[in-house]
Amino acid sequence: MRAVVFGAPGSLALREAPDPTPGPKDVVIEVAAVGICGTDTHVFDGEFEGTVFPLIPGHEASGTVVEIGSDVTTVAVGAHVVVNPSTTCGECEFCLNGKSNLCRNWNGLGVVASDGASAQFIKAPVANVFTLKESTDLYNAALIEPLACAIRGYDILPRRMGEHYLVYGSGTMGLLMAQLAPRAGAASVTIVDTNPNRLQVARKVGVEHIHGSADEADRHKWDVIIDCTGVVRAVEDGLPRVKAGGTFQHFGVAPVEAKANYSPFRVYRDEINIVGTMAVLNSFGRAVEMFEAGAINPKPMISHSFTLEDYADALRMFRAGTGRKLQIRPNDTESRVFV
């Protein structure tokens, strides 16, 4: 099969790779679509903790099952599926205490040490494969993995009904968090981004309050602020805007060595909650349910698809902040732009 390979930090190539062969409890999937996200750029740059090179990237995947292992009974050949890329050891303190997303041996397909979906086929444990309805759009369904991460983010927020939310960043994760906020009880949702084109996408998916800066908003303090950028400047701008007793969530992935300045006194005096959120935890199945229930509007979020040959162009476009959600469609023969 053809696959994109990160050979070392900053180095990628399109190569021929062996077709995956399923173990007894594995399935092989012909990849329909795999989204590019900020984690992929951190992996490519060698900034993601634990990545082992060489590696086939890509962890937001959907596709069709083409082969199953001898012990697989829950998924059939021909099924349309999505893949939870998180695998864990099942033996460490965190796995045994129900916090497997914090597993010290956590291994994300296409992120740490196992090959991902920027290839014609991917092998995955059957426990990580979720079947879709026949009516579900297989390409849009590649958004279910980031949706599962967003749901985990909401699981960990100490939220209440009637609160006011501010989201930094109108990329994929910001748009997902903003769309879920009303279902989580938000009285209002505001999203800020320095990219005006991305702000217009936020409006298309139903976010009412959009601004280029939080200074432009009518409100000056928020109950919940969610950073979906991982950019230190955004973190430092947002944290002082949390209302006393409110919550700041680090959702965006920052480089491992990044440092942010804030006032410990204000955190103490105002009882500010600062929470992180890591990948998924028992949220992937719920993400499938929420996606198929129409909790998000996926169509405006996807702007381009690329072939494997054009992966480097897609990565450059992502870094430039151009377009909306960018997908690799490994078995397509041409790249596309969607209105």
Is there a single domain that holds both residue 19 and residue 129? yes
Domain count, the chain: 2
Please give the structure tokens belonging to residue 54. Answer: 């060489």
Is there a single domain that holds both residue 193 and residue 306? no
Tell me what pLDDT residue 287 has.
98
For 35-58, the pLDDT digits (tens) are 999 889 999 999 888 999 999 999
Is there a single domain that holds both residue 19 and residue 133? yes
Tell me what pLDDT residue 256 has.
83
Please give the structure tokens belonging to residue 115. Answer: 């090959």
CATH number, domain containing residue 116: 3.90.180.10
Evaluate whether residue 293 is within a structural domain. no
Is there a single domain that holds both residue 239 and residue 175? yes
Listed in sequence order, the residues at least 6 apart from 129 whose beta carbon sits closer than 8 Å to its beta carbon are 27, 29, 65, 75, 81, 82, 83, 84
Is there a single domain that holds both residue 115 and residue 233? no
Nearest of 56, 55, 36, 37 to residue 118 by alpha carbon: 56
The rounded distance, in Å, linking the Cα atoms of 61 and 46 is 22
Q: Taking all residues of the chain, what is their mean pLDDT, rounded to a whole number?
A: 96
Is there a single domain that holds both residue 18 and residue 122? yes
Q: Is residue 60 a contact partner of residue 35, using CB atoms and an 8 Å limit?
A: yes
Evaluate whether residue 71 is within a structural domain. yes
Evaluate whether residue 225 is within a structural domain. yes
Beta bridge partners of 320: none
Tell whether omega for the bond before 54 is within 30 degrees of 0, i.e. cis.
Answer: yes
Segments in the chain forming alpha helices (H): 38-44, 93-96, 144-156, 172-180, 196-204, 232-238, 264-269, 284-292, 311-320
Is there a single domain that holds both residue 161 and residue 270? yes
For 266-305, the pLDDT digits (tens) are 999 999 999 999 999 999 999 999 999 999 999 999 999 9
Task: Give the domain range for residue 189.
Answer: 156-276
Evaluate whether residue 144 is within a structural domain. no
Q: Which residues in the chain show pLDDT less than 50? A: none
Q: Is residue 255 a contact partner of residue 42, using CB atoms and an 8 Å limit?
A: yes
Evaluate whether residue 237 is within a structural domain. yes
Is there a single domain that holds both residue 125 and residue 243? no
Q: Indicate the pTM of the whole model.
A: 0.94
Is there a single domain that holds both residue 192 and residue 100? no
Is there a single domain that holds both residue 107 and residue 206? no
Question: Which of 243, 276, 309 is the C-terminal boundary of a domain?
Answer: 276
Is there a single domain that holds both residue 119 and residue 175? no
CATH number, domain containing residue 272: 3.40.50.720
Evaluate whether residue 309 is within a structural domain. yes
Is there a single domain that holds both residue 88 and residue 161? no
Evaluate whether residue 10 is within a structural domain. yes
Evaluate whether residue 147 is within a structural domain. no
